[in-house]
């Protein structure tokens, strides 16, 4: 069955099974890096919560053998579970004291998101941008986030600097960094492993493994990595969720590393999760990051 036919059939099944007070819409949702995702949203009348269910994810399940009927039933079950307690209100979100404890930073590509950035508070970091989001409590919607926009900070009566300070402090508290070994991602990595020559590459993310590239923003993080590695090092910002850290041992040139991160992005990273095809070098002597 084609993707288009699957969408029609899935929506038909959802409409047939949904309660009478459920409002069902098909929409295109702008995502990171200019990606547009098609989804079906469900909302109860008088409710402000409208979970989005993305066709692409469910088409993958269908191709693996799941039926549209079972998929529709699962979507409605999840919808009922996530909207059974509509405790998130517009009034709640308008109050800075209510939301400030769950605001976090996220690193995204500046050029690929230039249009969206015009409408949201952000800060430049290298050739990237730091934006901010509210992470909803899992009791309301699991893993749901709301990007902070200009109208939000105006209503909250705060500055971008205060927003950034709060978000970074929250991230350090709730999303502690993880720095460890890297599994095989590219042919180069696998070749080194097969030859029993360990490749000195590491991953930096957070304990939740979501939006972990923002660990680079934690105060003193660049210096901590340098002390841990005991040398200068390269950062390959392969994904919004993690970065690859490589000691600057002379084994690879910056050009080779740039080719490596480009290959990883093309083969292994979803387009909306790509951070940059770039390489940065941290200099211990200068105590700063340099774009290569």
Q: What is the pLDDT of residues 127-155, one digit of tens each?
A: 999 999 999 876 555 567 889 999 999 99
Question: What distance in Å separates the CA atoms of residue 270 and residue 267, rounded to the nearest whole number?
Answer: 9
Element (H or E) spanning 206, and its range? strand 202-206
Burial class from Cβ neighbours inside 10 Å (0-12, 13-18, 19+) for residue 129 reads buried
More confident call, 173 vs 47:
173
Inter-helix orientation angle 55-63/3-17, to 10°: 100
Cα–Cα separations (whole angstroms), residue 184 to 47, 204, 225, 277: 46, 15, 21, 19
User: Any idea how long the chain is?
Assistant: 292
Report the percent of the chain where pLDDT is more than 90: 61
C-beta neighbour count of 214 within 10 angstroms: 28
More confident call, 238 vs 58:
58
Q: What pLDDT digit, counting tens, does each position of 60-92 carry?
A: 999 999 999 999 999 999 888 776 655 556 677
Tokens read off for 26: 């098909």
User: Tokens 């180069």 appear where?
Assistant: 188
> Mean pLDDT over residues 118-129, rounded?
95
Contact (CB, 8 A) for 106 and 132: yes
pTM score of the predicted model: 0.81
Q: Cα 40 vs. chain centroid, distance in angstroms?
A: 21
Question: What distance in Å separates the CA atoms of residue 20 and residue 44, rounded to the nearest whole number?
Answer: 9
Count Cα neighbours of 198 within 13 Å in the Cβ-side half-sphere.
Answer: 6
């Amino acid at each position: 069955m084609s993707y288009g036919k699957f969408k029609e059939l899935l929506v038909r099944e959802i409409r047939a099974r949904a309660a009478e007070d459920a409002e069902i819409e098909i929409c295109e949702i702008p995502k990171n890096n200019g990606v547009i995702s098609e989804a079906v949203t469900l909302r109860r009348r008088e409710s402000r919560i409208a979970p989005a269910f993305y066709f692409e994810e469910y088409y993958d399940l269908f191709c693996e053998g799941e039926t549209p009927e079972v998929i529709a039933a699962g979507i409605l079950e999840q919808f009922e579970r996530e909207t059974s307690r509509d405790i998130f209100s517009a009034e709640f979100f308008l109050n800075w004291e209510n939301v400030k404890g769950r605001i976090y930073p996220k690193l995204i590509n500046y050029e690929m998101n230039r249009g969206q950035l015009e409408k949201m508070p952000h800060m430049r970091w290298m050739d990237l941008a730091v934006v901010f989001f509210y992470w909803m409590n899992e009791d309301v919607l699991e893993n749901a986030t709301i990007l902070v926009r200009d109208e939000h900070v105006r209503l909250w009566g705060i500055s971008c600097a205060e927003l950034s300070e709060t978000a970074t402090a929250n991230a350090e508290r709730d999303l502690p960094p993880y720095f460890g070994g890297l599994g095989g991602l590219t042919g180069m990595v696998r070749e080194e492993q097969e030859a029993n020559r360990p490749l000195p590459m590491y991953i930096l993310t957070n304990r939740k493994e979501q939006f972990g590239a923002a660990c680079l923003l934690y105060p003193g993080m660049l210096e901590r990595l340098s002390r841990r590695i005991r040398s200068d090092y390269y950062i390959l910002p392969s994904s919004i969720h993690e970065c690859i850290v490589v000691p600057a041992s002379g084994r690879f040139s910056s050009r080779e590393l740039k080719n490596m991160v480009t290959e990883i992005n093309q083969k292994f990273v979803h387009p909306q999760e790509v951070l940059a095809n770039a390489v940065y070098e941290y200099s211990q002597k200068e105590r700063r990051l340099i774009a290569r």
